[in-house]
């Protein structure tokens, strides 16, 4: 591992699974989170007790200064930045597009897309010896999420384009940029959208007839970050049980 792995939204769910697996793989990990300090600190303790190196930094990925601080803290603690998982994301309650207000639309785009832009920009500026970025998209980017979350789907469609474009822009600098599209994964994001049972309720419609786990997504992300994926850039991997 060459330098630290920065994981946004690393305090729980898919990001926390990436932090655990990343630390096991030998990355010093820097977890960003927005508000839940208790979960972030508990995860850092767990990783350290298991022999890994970790740091948690609070901040909002949609705020430029917070993003600079996240990367500054990671670099101060662990040296160079070698990897980024652009994972922080939010999901508002289900609504049809005609009923969405502008504040909701802007908040979704700000966290899910602008945040990923700011973090990718900061990572590329600092990855002077090369590196790897994995952007967390969603199957919603392809399916469109009608009647529920078109704002969210649009933000994730932006992530797909960001991934393909940036991959081509920085390939010659030794930086690989790839993405994953999780399907229905069993995490707290569904509760924050007002429907804690959403993932399990929709499970019978998934070809594999079950939801995915955060670890199943994290394993794919860690593979994309690793040298095992050394000739992959600009790809999106669906981790969705066939959805």
Using CB under 6 A as the binding rule, whether residue 15 contacts ligand NDP is answered as yes
Options 29, 84, 152, 243, the catalytic residue: 152
Interaction residues for ligand NDP, span 55-74 (CB under 6 A): 60-62
Interaction residues for ligand NDP, span 80-139 (CB under 6 A): 87-90, 111, 115, 136, 138
Between 35 and 50, whose beta carbon lies closer to ligand NDP? 35
Minimum CB separation from ligand NDP for residue 106, in Å?
Answer: 12
DSSP string, 96-123: -GGG--HHHHHHHHIIIIIHHHHHHHHH
Per CB under 6 A, the segment of 12-20, 46-54, 117-125, 224-232 that binds ligand NDP is 12-20
Round to whole Å and give the CA distance between 134 and 222: 9
Using CB under 6 A as the binding rule, whether residue 5 contacts ligand NDP is answered as no
Round to whole Å and give the CA distance between 236 and 95: 27
How many CA atoms lie within 13 Å of 110's alpha carbon, on the beta-carbon side? Answer: 11
Round to whole Å and give the CA distance between 3 and 28: 7
Using CB under 6 A as the binding rule, whether residue 221 contacts ligand NDP is answered as no
Between 124 and 189, whose beta carbon lies closer to ligand NDP? 189
Q: Are strands 81-86 and 4-7 parallel, antiparallel or unpaired?
A: parallel
Does residue 33 carry a catalytic annotation?
Answer: no
Q: Which two tokens stand for residue 220?
A: 């794919």
Residue listed under structure tokens 């994981």? 7
Residue choice 4, 5, 12, 122 for contact with ligand NDP (CB under 6 A): 12
Q: Which residues pair with 237 in a beta bridge?
A: 180
Minimum CB separation from ligand NDP for residue 221, in Å?
Answer: 10
Between 4 and 180, whose beta carbon lies closer to ligand NDP? 180
Per CB under 6 A, the segment of 26-34, 95-103, 167-175, 218-226 that binds ligand NDP is 26-34
Spell out where the chain has E strands: 4-7, 29-33, 54-58, 81-86, 131-136, 175-182, 236-239
Which residues in this chain contact ligand NDP in the complex, by CB under 6 A? 8-9, 11-15, 32-36, 60-62, 87-90, 111, 115, 136, 138, 182, 184-185, 187-189, 192, 199
Active site residues: 152
């Amino acid at each position: 591992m060459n330098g630290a792995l920065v994981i946004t939204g690393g305090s729980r769910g898919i990001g926390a699974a990436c932090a655990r697996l990343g630390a096991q793989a030998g990355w010093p990990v820097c977890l960003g989170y927005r508000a839940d300090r208790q979960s972030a600190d508990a995860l850092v303790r767990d990783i350290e007790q298991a022999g890994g190196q970790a740091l948690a930094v609070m901040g909002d990925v949609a705020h430029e200064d917070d993003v600079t601080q996240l990367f500054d803290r990671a670099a101060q603690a662990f040296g160079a930045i070698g990897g980024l998982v652009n994972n922080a994301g939010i999901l508002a309650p289900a609504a049809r597009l005609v009923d969405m207000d502008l504040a909701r639309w802007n908040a979704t785009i700000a966290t899910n897309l602008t945040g990923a832009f700011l973090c990718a920009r900061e990572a590329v500026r600092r990855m002077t010896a090369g590196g790897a970025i994995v952007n967390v998209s969603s199957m919603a980017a392809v399916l469109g999420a009608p009647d529920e979350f078109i704002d969210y789907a649009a933000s994730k469609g932006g992530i797909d384009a960001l991934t393909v474009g940036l991959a081509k822009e920085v390939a010659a600098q030794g930086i690989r940029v790839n993405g994953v599209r999780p399907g229905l994964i069993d995490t707290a994001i569904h509760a924050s959208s007002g429907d804690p049972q959403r993932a399990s309720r929709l499970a019978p419609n998934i070809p594999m007839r079950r939801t995915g786990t955060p670890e199943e997504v994290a394993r794919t992300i860690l593979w994309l970050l690793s040298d095992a994926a050394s000739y992959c850039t600009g790809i999106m991997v669906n981790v969705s049980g066939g959805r």
